[in-house]
Amino acid sequence: MNEKHYSNRTGWLRAAVLGANDGIVSTASLIAGVAAAAHSREEVMLAAVAGMVAGALSMAAGEYVSVSSQKDTEEADLARERRELASCPEAEQAELATIYRSRGLSEPLARQVAEALMAHDALDAHARDELGINELSRAHPVVAALSSAASFMAGAFMPVLVTAVTPLAQIPLVVSLSSLLVLSMLGFIAARTGGAHPLRGALRVLLLGALAMGATTLIGHLFGLTVT
């Protein structure tokens, strides 16, 4: 019987949802705020495209730095484990057996499992069971950066496209409503894919997105009144 699990989806799901949501919310909020104070569609489109490109590059750079730091930490831990395995393998095997005993194995079985796994791949056994590092959780900075940038651009493209075909006076309302609709759909899909309550996920992103867009629209409106 094949069991359905959701934990193996958390990595890519988090990155995709975060990037797309950020692309929609930040770009739509920027558009709504600028449109409330702008005097032409060109001004709004310039801000929208600039915000989309800058946001994607910012997401990529931030994700690359963050995941690179994680990778550096992983490599440092693995290097230390290699040195310890080379200098005192018996102590490392005993440490592994202690871990298995803490998970419920008996003393003889824990020693037997530790010995077998050490003989097969000592570093892999310690990386997985002592450090919590496995192939699914390994850091990949370039992949993370490109994925974040692509998901941000995908999310940001929708409010930019809506801006291009909407009359200037209606841009704040139309962009906000369409973006909130798409955000709700993304929240619903992400929650369902991750095994969480779909309506709760949709409502969460809907409320946060509405707050961000409402705040920037108000600021843009007030700024527009000030400069005019």
Predicted confidence band of residue 30 (pLDDT cuts 50, 70, 90) = confident
Instruction: Centre a 10 Å sphere on the Cβ of residue 228 and count the other Cβ atoms it contains.
Output: 7
71 alpha-carbon distance from chain centroid: 16
* pLDDT of 9 strictly over 80: no
Question: What is the tens place of the pLDDT at every residue in 76-131?
Answer: 888 988 898 888 888 888 888 888 888 888 888 988 888 898 888 888 888 888 77
User: How buried is residue 189: exposed, middle or buried, by Cβ count under 10 Å (0-12/13-18/19+)?
Assistant: middle
Residue 49 binned pLDDT confidence (cut-offs 50, 70, 90): very high
Domain boundaries, the chain: 10-81+138-227
Inter-residue long-range contacts of 140-146, CB under 8 Å, 24+ positions, other chains counted: 140/67, 140/71, 141/63, 141/64, 141/67, 141/68, 141/71, 142/64, 144/15, 144/63, 144/64, 144/66, 144/67, 145/60, 145/61, 145/63, 145/64, 145/67, 146/60
pLDDT of residue 10: 47
Higher pLDDT, 122 or 160: 160
Residue 169 banded pLDDT, cuts 50, 70, 90: confident
Higher-confidence position of 56 and 185: 56
Both tokens assigned to 131: 């450090």
pLDDT confidence bin for 157, thresholds 50/70/90 = very high
pLDDT reported for residue 3: 46
In this predicted structure, the answer to whether residue 226 has a pLDDT above a threshold of 50 is no
Q: Which of 70-84, 120-134, 135-149, 187-201 has the highest mean pLDDT?
A: 70-84
The residues near 213 (Cβ < 8 Å, ≥ 6 apart) are 25, 28, 29, 32, 176, 179, 180
Listed range (37-41, 116-120, 136-140, 197-201) with the worst mean pLDDT: 136-140
More confident residue, 67 or 214: 67
Residue 45, pLDDT above cutoff 50: yes
Residue 225 has pLDDT above 50, yes or no: no
What pLDDT was estimated at residue 103? 86
pLDDT confidence bin for 223, thresholds 50/70/90: low
Going by C-alpha positions, the residue among 151, 178, 183, 150 that lies closest to residue 164 is: 178
Whole-number pLDDT of residue 211: 82
Asked whether the predicted pLDDT for residue 54 surpasses 90, the reply is yes
Distance in angstroms (rounded) separating the CA atoms of residues 59 and 56: 5
